[in-house]
A and B are shown apart, each in its own frame.
Chain A
Amino acid sequence: MSLHAATAAELARGLRAKRYSAVEVAGHFLARIERANPALNAFVTVTRERALADAKRADERLARGEGGPLTGVPVAHKDIFCTTGILTSCGSRMLSNFVSPYDATVVERLDAAGMVLLGKTNMDEFAMGSSNETSFYGPVKNPWDERKVPGGSSGGSAAAVAARIAPVATGTDTGGSIRQPGALTGLTGFKPTYGRVSRYGMIAFASSLDQAGVLAQSAEDAALVLSAMAGHDPRDSTSVDAPVPDYAAALDKPVKGLKIGIIREFFGEGLDAATGDAVRAAIEHFRKEGARVKEVSLPALPLSVPTYYVVAPAECSSNLSRFDGVRFGHRCKDPKDLTDLYKRTRGEGFGAEVKRRIMTGTYVLSAGYYDAYYLKAQKVRSLINADFKRAFGEVDVLMGPTAPTPAFDIGAKTDDPILMYLNDIYTIGANLAGLPAVSVPCGLVGGLPVGLQVIGPHFAEERLLAAAHAWQRATDWHRRMPAAYA
Chain B
Amino acid sequence: MTLTRRDVENIAHLARLEITEAEMPVYVKSLSSILAFVEQLSGAPTADVAPMAHPLEGQVQPLREDRVTESDRRAAYQANAPAVEAGLYLVPKVIE
Q: Is the CB of A325 within 8 A of B40?
A: no
A484 within 8 A of B: no
Q: Cβ of B34 and Cβ of A347 under 8 Å apart?
A: no
Contacting chain B: which of A123-131, A145-153, A212-220, A380-388? A380-388
In the complex, chain A residues 318-338 whose Cβ is within 8 Å of any chain B Cβ: 321, 324-331, 335-338
Complex CA distance for A355 and B15, rounded to whole angstroms: 9
Chain B, interface size: which category?
Answer: 35 or more
Interface size on A, residues (CB 8 A): 76
Q: Does B85 contact A (CB under 8 A)?
A: no
Contact of A298 with B by CB under 8 A: no
Interface string of A190-212 (1 = CB under 8 A from B): 00011100000000000011000
Q: Which of B8, B27, B38, B79 contacts A99 (CB 8 A)?
A: B79
Question: Which of A62-70, A159-167, A302-310, A467-475 lines the interface with chain B?
Answer: A302-310
Which of B13, B64, B77, B82 counts the most chain A CB atoms within 10 A? Answer: B82
A381 near B52: Cβ-Cβ < 8 Å: yes
Residues of A with C-beta under 8 A to B53: 208, 378
Q: Check A101 for interface membership: any CB of B closer than 8 A.
A: yes
Q: Which of B17, B40, B55 contacts A306 (CB 8 A)?
A: B40
Q: Verify if A344 is at the interface (C-beta below 8 Å from B).
A: yes
- Among the stretches A6-14, A252-260, A368-376, the one at the interface with B is A368-376
Q: Report chain B residues within 8 Å CB of A362.
A: 11, 14-15
Say yes or no: is B44 at the interface (Cβ < 8 Å to chain A).
Answer: yes
Which B residues touch A321, using CB under 8 A?
Answer: 16
Name B57's closest neighbour in chain A (CB-CB).
Answer: A385
Q: A194 contacts which chain B residues (CB < 8 A)?
A: 55-56
> Are B49 and A382 within 8 A (Cβ)?
yes
Chain B residues near A366: list those with CB within 8 A: 11, 14
Q: Report chain B residues within 8 Å CB of A358.
A: 15, 17
Q: A363 to B31, Cβ gap below 8 A?
A: yes
Q: Are A237 and B61 within 8 A (Cβ)?
A: yes
Check if B86 is an interface residue, CB within 8 A of chain A: no
Q: Is the CB of B92 within 8 A of A352?
A: no
A362 to B46, CA, bound (A): 23
A-side contacts of B81, CB under 8 Å:
326-328
Shortest C-beta distance, B51 to chain A (Å), equals 3
Report if A50 contacts B (CB, 8 A).
Answer: no
Contact residues in B for A306 (Cβ distance below 8 Å):
37-41
B68 within 8 A of A: no
Once A208-B53, A382-B51 are accepted as A-B contacts, the answer to whether A336 and B14 lie under 8 Å apart by CB is: no
- Evaluate contact between B38 and A377: CB separation under 8 angstroms: yes
| Chain B facing A: main interface SS | loop
Interface residue A418 (Cβ < 8 Å from any Cβ of B): yes
Nearest B residue to A324 via CB reads: B16
In the complex the two chains form, what is the Cα distance from A393 to B82 in whole Å? 54
Are B34 and A327 in contact, CB atoms less than 8 angstroms apart? no
Q: A240 near B59 (CB under 8 angstroms)?
A: yes
Instruction: Closest A residue to B43 by CB, please name it.
Output: A303
Quick check: B34 and A360 within 8 Å, CB to CB? yes
**Within the complex, what minimum Cβ distance (angstroms) separates B66 from chain A?**
14
Q: Provide the B68-96 mask, 1 if CB < 8 A to any CB of A, else 0.
A: 00000100110111110000010111100
Query: Which residues of the other chain, B, contact A364 by a CB distance below 8 angstroms?
Result: 38
B91 CB to closest chain A CB (Å) equals 6
CA distance A433 to B55 in the complex (A): 5
A330 nearest in chain B by CB position: B82
Residue of B nearest to A310 (CB): B38
In the complex, the answer to whether B52 meets A347 with C-beta atoms within 8 Å is no
The interface residues of chain B lying within 8 Å CB-to-CB of A373 are: 38, 41
**Once the chains are docked, how many angstroms separate the CA of A385 from the CA of B51?**
11
A376 pairs with B41, CB closer than 8 A: yes
The verdict on A101 contacting B73 (CB below 8 Å), with A303-B40, A336-B92, A358-B15 known, is yes
A-B contact pairs, 17 of them (CB 8 A): A99-B79, A99-B80, A195-B56, A306-B37, A306-B38, A306-B39, A307-B41, A309-B34, A325-B82, A329-B80, A346-B16, A355-B19, A358-B15, A359-B27, A360-B34, A377-B41, A385-B55
Top 9 A-B pairs, shortest CB-CB distance: A434-B55, A347-B18, A378-B51, A331-B82, A379-B46, A328-B80, A342-B16, A343-B18, A382-B52
List 16 additional contacts besides A331-B82, A356-B30, A359-B11; criterion CB under 8 Å: A101-B77, A195-B55, A234-B64, A300-B44, A306-B40, A338-B91, A355-B19, A359-B12, A362-B11, A362-B15, A378-B53, A380-B49, A383-B45, A383-B49, A417-B33, A421-B37
